[in-house]
Structure 1
Amino acid sequence: MWVVSALVIVYFVGLLLHGDGANPFVDVWLCGLTQWGPVVVFFVAAWRTHFARRDVLLAAAAVTVSAVADTYYSLFMDDSGYLVFPSLADIGYLMFYPLMLAAVVVLVRRQVRGFSWSVLLDGAVGSLGAAAVLAAILSPVLEDAIKGPTPVATAVAVAYPFFDLLLVAVITGIAAAPTLDIGPRWLFLFFGLGMLTVADVAYALLENADQYSVGNPLDAVWALGLALMALWVDGSGRNTDTSCRRQRETPPLSVPAGAVVAGLGLLVLGTQITVSVLAVVLATATVGLAALPLAFRQRLLRRESLTDELTGLPNRRALKAEAETRFKVGSGSPLTRRRSALMLLDLDRFKEVNDSLGHDAGDTLLVQVSTRLSRSLGAGDFLARLGGDEFAIILQGSGEEDALAVARKLRAALAAPFTLENIALQTSASMGIALFPDQGQNLGELLRRADMAMYEAKTTHSGHHVFKQADDSHGEVRLRTLEELRVALLDDQLVVHYQPKINLKTGHVTGVEALVRWNHPSRGLLLPEEFLILVEESGQMAALTRIVLEKALDQAQLWQTHDRAMTVAVNLSSSSFVDIDLPERIAAMIDARQLSASTLILEITEDFLMADRERARTILTRLREGGVQIAIDDFGTGYSSLSYLRDLPIDEIKLDQSFVLPMGQDPRAAALVASTIDLAHSLGLRMVAEGVENSAAYDELVRYGCDHAQGFFMSGPVPAAELDNWIANQRVEDIDDLVQVNNAGASTTGL
């Protein structure tokens, strides 16, 4: 892009310096380079996107045929810069327009389906108004073109202003749709197309007045337009993560209002001077389209105000209006409507879909979810999308048992995999239910209690929950805990405990897993399951992860200072990988403590690997190239293909405790453990068994050749000082004596 930009500047200076007439160096070589440079940029961008972006491919084809045509013109023009009209060059010049228009259509087509009628109407008004103005400007050119010496010459001459009209109409129509999101650098594309149109119009007017010649500084405007388009496609090819797109902010109705004023001005002007018939027709269509019956437009706008733009479902405003009718209580409180239930539904871990696959995939998931929910509800039920991944459902004539039956039906409907960007994704939902009129007599009360019930369902992983009076206090506890969490992150209330990993060949402690705890000022030491869900929901996982990493690496540095170097494993949630600079941040933490990068092991779950294989490969490869080790946590609990073990840079597998615990009583579980250990070793990976809670399991793992083990049989997670004492005073040969030191119980997990 730097080369292309420099060529445009040099070309413009050359045009200014050499004066009138054709100059071989400037008008052939420099001009050719300014045409072919953008072609290279376009095809590099197409290669970057694996030739999967049709808009990029069509745009690349458009600039290529234009460059071919320009090269032909430069090679075969005479000394004065003239080439017989029409020529083969005109074929390439004219092909540029339909190819470029097709690229723009492909770019916006996917979103047009979701546009409201008012947005489409405003876009059409803006397009017609801009075309009317351009038709008036090009009136002399059109009249001269129609008088061509041959039918072919006439057709070609008319085609140029016709395509310019289309191009201006499309650009203006898109500018009139402020909600259209077509990615970063969109301004470069449309300013580039605008520059090409300006150059075409100026050329046509100069040519019509017999004042144009090759070498005119106007030639540089075409080169500038192509360079701006190359800037667009370069950014588009580099940035395929739709999550960083930003919506354009165009003042509402500014473009259509300007178009109407321009159309009216042309009609008035037509009464004083001669204006082309085409311009008058387009101006009339502009004013007519803008003047649709106000009642129709008002009804249209009202309907749109009650509709969710993405899914087409009723929105929060529509829910409020519906609730006023359904949850109506008359004087003296006699019910004028039958009993009902309000269900609040929230998708589990939806944020991870957005973070891993992008907001486009998240939007697609929401549309598919809304379709399944609609099909699963009865004719009298009311479904609305409140925003984000939250839906509300009014179940008409429903008591508690009926509502629970519907909840089970909806969960079953959502259990089947969704297909997003060729990835089969399973999701689930948490549902809270509040009953009318027993648990609330208006929408506000019912929503508040359904939200408390939904949180209870999410916390207990039960899937659905009907509001109970005890949930009211839970809601207050939740809000208070959220505020206390913010304070905890700032006041250093988080501590890290360490669970040793025993090398089963030597019996020595070679590493630890760092597990976070919250040293709550009034509730004591809280385990991860008591607060991690709130951390994730409140968007504070990045801050918590940074704190745990810093504390764990500080401890690793302290152990290294005392000649007790050990690896430290830290769990990362999938939301942590949203930060594209994560590998660099971790590398900086390690370097600041003068540790070897291999000291740190990052533990991730199969869910993240399966959600977006390519994203996982990119991030893990960068981490692995920096020397950080990668482990798969809770291996065997996900429904996934084992191919990722082959494809991704992984060092270690941690077998979930659900396989280790039943080994002594279940031969099939033991066989699975043995075969998984063999699989890991055949792939050159280490195997760590979690949840070792008795000597029988420990001995079996040694016999199967497992590399490392951790669990309450050896030691639970303890503060670093206690772990140091344990390592100093205990020998693995005396491991049986440690059972009484550690309380029996399920091994804790978490970050």
Structure 2
Amino acid sequence: MNRLLLAATWLLVALHAIALGLHGGDEFSLLIDGFLGGGSQIVAAALAWSNLRRAGPRRPEIAVLSTGVSVFALSNVLYLVLYAHGVEYDFPGPPDFGFATFYPIAVLAVGLAARRELNSRSGPDVWLDSALGALGSGAVLAVLLDSVFVSASGNPLGASFALFYPICDLFLAALVVGVMTIQGRRLQPFWLYLLAGLAAFIVIDVMSAVSLLTNAYVPGGFTDALWSAGIALMATWTYARHRVAEEVEHRPALLLPGLATVAGLGVLVAAAVTKDQVSPLALTLAVLTQVAAGVRTLYAFRQLGRLADLRRQATTDDLTGLANRRAFYADAEARLRRRARGALFLLDLDRFKEVNDSLGHHVGDQLLVEISQRLSHLTRPVDLLARLGGDEFAMLVEGLDATEAESLAEKLRAEIARPCTLEDIALRTDASIGLVLAPEHGDTLSLLLRRADIAMYQAKQARRGHQIYSGDSDDTGPMRLRVLQELHTALDQGQLTMHYQPKLDLSTGEVHHVEALVRWAHPERGLLYPDFFLGLAEDAGMMRRLNQVVLTEALDQAVLWRQSDHPLTIAVNLSASSLVDAELPHEIASMLAVRGLPPEVLEIEVTEEFLMADRDRTRHILARLRDLGIRIAVDDFGTGYSSLAYLRELPVDDLKLDRSFVFPMAEDPRAAALVFSTIELAHSLGLTMIAEGVEDEISLKALTDNGCDQAQGYFISRPLAAPALDAWLAARSLEPQQSST
């Protein structure tokens, strides 16, 4: 129905215009001016009302404008009837009051539509652009009305009505231009129908006003078709408006405000050139247009400043101030497109998770800031340095070959490894660096990053610091994912097993203690050592579950040894991420109680780094374990932090001297002196001294002679599965025991 009325409306408008052209328009014609002209407006009103049913949220403005179009069409019919019957009346007559009523109704309709636009696009720029568009167009239209103002004389009421029509047209057109300015580049085309209809009204109302004020108006002229076309265009606006969905986002454009500014400036130039030939209204509107343009320009500069700040924030890492992932990707890809030669470094901090878990995220953040500053000192302004996220950094340095890139990698690691003091704690961290060359290892950023990631994980697993990418191991990334999946399966299916290395009591030659070391009995790869999978488990957050498996296996074996009348104390290594768990003491106590084991059957080995990381938390966790009766040993003693204050403050029972001190004892007197002085230190503090890495009889005898309490190493026994250890212990029981054996 809507489409039929739309077609009928424009068909009648076209027939009216064609008939006027053929007739000449010199005299009034009932057929042409009456039936075609008046009929097109009546059908246009019907079209407007037919759109109301499906108007949805736009129903109010469409209903109001439909009312206005109907009032105008009925007033025109009244005018045609009176004129056809020869009824004479002074201007303004009864139809003119109907025509005048149309304008406030139309203003209300456009105002309702404008309010909807403004409510969905709130902001000072919207209001300024709307005002600027309205003032600029108003200034130009006021110039067009100059002839009406000049002709207004004699009949005050007639002059008022004659001026009322074009002035209302001016106001409506300015309001529509303001709404169109709001929409900018997302301008909805149905507004053009309304603007075109008002333009038709402006032309004929100006012409009619002049002719009415000079008593020269004759109905039936060719220009009368503009009224029919204007009403038809407004009715078409209601048809097009109800069919458009609500817009979600509109960005104001500078086109219409710019045109409005130029228009206002043109009016001012015309006033200066023609020497007061421009009306005061047009001049006032032109001045206001320039004022609004100035305010809009100032606001635009503020917006540009904010956009620049937002862009900086969008490309900058908030914590370190370095470029973020987005900025790095954009800049690096641009450089690679220029076929720039260089090296890409991917850096990942080692054991950073332990810092966060033990000291808190605020200290971890401080460490990241410190590392970023150190890296910045080693880069040139043209180099690209970014924090990709977490403890991962990336650096793209142009103009480096392989040798120069590896040299820079060493400098980066040395700079990162320098100790730093945070929260009164001396921290030392290392980094693993993956290194790739462009374009040798790839010409796209995604490929280079993937290969740098492979090289970085190779460096982390091998603990070699940095690794340049090699195509021979391009499956490392997929392999890591496969190994992790297999590790999940291993935990579910019980593939992890324990080997036990005996600790020899050097005063008696007996074995009462063992250290439990986890192994992975892989169904395809064979027996895998911890270096192969512990790092992956830590990175994947699987250490808590893995440690539970280790404790379960070790304590179950302790039960078997107690049942065989050969009880052994078992030492278990737990990661720092597990030892910060406040529930750990309770869980261990439950595991001991379920098996009926005394607490002294278990010993927990802790690294120096964990002890020094967060003394308050460490003291709390270890004190709870000690209260249960569980012994605490410091593993790898001498390789961590230099401070020994924790030996006095924390509940520690045993010191395990690292193998790096014990192994060279036989050939290095200084190493031997360090070992002997450490033994004296441990005894002076009431601690048990355990030496790791005993590889020969000379070292074992020297340790025994200098009062070391216990020793373990390959010279005594390799780690053995429980049945093999039982056989080894049985064989020793048949041999004569010596204190230095």
State TM-score, norm by structure 2: 0.58
CA distance in 2, matches of 1:582, 1:471: 39
Contact kept, 8 Å, 2:580 with 2:618, in 1: the verdict is no
Q: Which moved more, 1:349-358 or 1:390-399?
A: 390-399
Alignment match, 1:477: 479
1:270-669 equivalences under 5 Å are: 293-328=302-337, 336-669=338-671
CA distance in 2, matches of 1:466, 1:732: 54
CA distance in 2, matches of 1:435, 1:443: 11
CA distance in 1, matches of 2:462, 2:501: 26
SS at match of 2:726: helix
Task: Give 1:447 shift.
Answer: 0.4
Task: Give 1:293 shift.
Answer: 4.0
- Structure 1 residues 659 and 473 mapped into 2: Cα distance closer, same or farther (>3 Å)? same
- Structure 1 residues 362 and 461 mapped into 2: Cα distance closer, same or farther (>3 Å)? same
Task: Give 1:467 shift.
Answer: 0.8
Contact kept, 8 Å, 1:507 with 1:733, in 2: the verdict is no
Task: Give 1:735 shift.
Answer: 7.7
CA distance in 2, matches of 1:658, 1:296: 59
Deviations 1:605-633 (A, max 9, x none): 11111222222112111111111100011
Task: Give 1:659 shift.
Answer: 2.2
- Structure 1 residues 299 and 666 mapped into 2: Cα distance closer, same or farther (>3 Å)? closer
Task: Give 1:368 shift.
Answer: 1.3
Contact kept, 8 Å, 1:323 with 1:442, in 2: the verdict is no
SS at match of 1:568: strand
CA distance in 1, matches of 2:411, 2:730: 57
Task: Give 1:647 shift.
Answer: 1.5
- Structure 1 residues 356 and 542 mapped into 2: Cα distance closer, same or farther (>3 Å)? same
CA distance in 1, matches of 2:694, 2:541: 34
Look up the equivalent residue of 1:727 and give its one-letter code.
L
Alignment match, 2:72: none
State TM-score, norm by structure 1: 0.57
Contact kept, 8 Å, 2:519 with 2:529, in 1: the verdict is yes
| Structure 2: segments with no counterpart, 5+ residues | 1-297
CA distance in 2, matches of 1:732, 1:403: 60
Contact kept, 8 Å, 1:499 with 1:513, in 2: the verdict is yes
CA distance in 1, matches of 2:302, 2:660: 67
SS at match of 1:662: coil
Look up the equivalent residue of 1:662 and give its one-letter code.
P
Task: Give 1:526 shift.
Answer: 0.5
SS at match of 2:519: strand
CA distance in 2, matches of 1:689, 1:623: 24
Deviations 1:251-277 (A, max 9, x none): xxxxxxxxxxxxxxxxxxxxxxxxxxx
SS at match of 1:307: coil
CA distance in 1, matches of 2:558, 2:630: 14
Contact kept, 8 Å, 2:350 with 2:431, in 1: the verdict is yes
Look up the equivalent residue of 2:334 and give its one-letter code.
T
CA distance in 1, matches of 2:559, 2:695: 30
Contact kept, 8 Å, 1:439 with 1:446, in 2: the verdict is yes
| Structure 1: segments with no counterpart, 5+ residues | 1-288, 329-335, 740-751
Task: Give 1:547 shift.
Answer: 0.6
SS at match of 1:500: strand
- Structure 1 residues 444 and 669 mapped into 2: Cα distance closer, same or farther (>3 Å)? same
Contact kept, 8 Å, 1:610 with 1:640, in 2: the verdict is no
CA distance in 1, matches of 2:471, 2:737: 49
Contact kept, 8 Å, 1:507 with 1:732, in 2: the verdict is no
Contact kept, 8 Å, 2:359 with 2:614, in 1: the verdict is yes
Contact kept, 8 Å, 1:415 with 1:426, in 2: the verdict is yes
Alignment match, 2:226: none
Deviations 1:441-463 (A, max 9, x none): 11100100111111111122222
CA distance in 1, matches of 2:404, 2:660: 35
CA distance in 1, matches of 2:581, 2:536: 20
CA distance in 2, matches of 1:400, 1:479: 29
Task: Give 1:565 shift.
Answer: 1.5
Contact kept, 8 Å, 2:580 with 2:621, in 1: the verdict is no
Contact kept, 8 Å, 1:606 with 1:640, in 2: the verdict is no
CA distance in 2, matches of 1:570, 1:692: 20
CA distance in 1, matches of 2:507, 2:591: 32
Task: Give 1:695 shift.
Answer: 2.4
Task: Give 1:732 shift.
Answer: 8.3
Corresponding residue pairs, total: 444
Task: Give 1:299 shift.
Answer: 3.1
Deviations 1:73-109 (A, max 9, x none): xxxxxxxxxxxxxxxxxxxxxxxxxxxxxxxxxxxxx
Task: Give 1:643 shift.
Answer: 2.1
CA distance in 1, matches of 2:704, 2:308: 75
- Structure 1 residues 380 and 694 mapped into 2: Cα distance closer, same or farther (>3 Å)? same
SS at match of 2:560: helix
1:7-156 equivalences under 5 Å are: none
SS at match of 1:507: coil
CA distance in 1, matches of 2:349, 2:734: 46
CA distance in 1, matches of 2:714, 2:688: 21
Identical-pair percentage? 56
1:165-314 equivalences under 5 Å are: 293-314=302-323
Look up the equivalent residue of 2:432 and give its one-letter code.
S
RMSD: 2.2
CA distance in 1, matches of 2:668, 2:376: 44
Look up the equivalent residue of 1:659 and give its one-letter code.
F
- Structure 1 residues 671 and 312 mapped into 2: Cα distance closer, same or farther (>3 Å)? closer
- Structure 1 residues 668 and 299 mapped into 2: Cα distance closer, same or farther (>3 Å)? closer
Contact kept, 8 Å, 1:356 with 1:615, in 2: the verdict is yes
SS at match of 2:561: helix
Alignment match, 1:726: 728
SS at match of 1:327: helix
Alignment match, 1:706: 708
CA distance in 1, matches of 2:343, 2:514: 50
Deviations 1:709-741 (A, max 9, x none): 2222222111111111211122485589x99xx
Task: Give 1:292 shift.
Answer: 8.5
Deviations 1:346-400 (A, max 9, x none): 1111111100110111111111111111121012101111100011111022222
CA distance in 2, matches of 1:314, 1:589: 49
CA distance in 2, matches of 1:602, 1:290: 66
Deviations 1:210-268 (A, max 9, x none): xxxxxxxxxxxxxxxxxxxxxxxxxxxxxxxxxxxxxxxxxxxxxxxxxxxxxxxxxxx
CA distance in 1, matches of 2:307, 2:589: 58
Contact kept, 8 Å, 2:580 with 2:617, in 1: the verdict is no
Task: Give 1:497 shift.
Answer: 0.7
- Does residue 692 of structure 1 match 2:694? yes
Look up the equivalent residue of 2:397 and give its one-letter code.
L
- Does residue 674 of structure 1 match 2:683? no
Deviations 1:632-662 (A, max 9, x none): 1111222322222121111111122222222
Alignment match, 1:247: none
CA distance in 2, matches of 1:310, 1:444: 25
- Structure 1 residues 733 and 561 mapped into 2: Cα distance closer, same or farther (>3 Å)? closer
Higher-Rg member (1/2): 2
Task: Give 1:706 shift.
Answer: 1.8
Contact kept, 8 Å, 2:339 with 2:439, in 1: the verdict is no
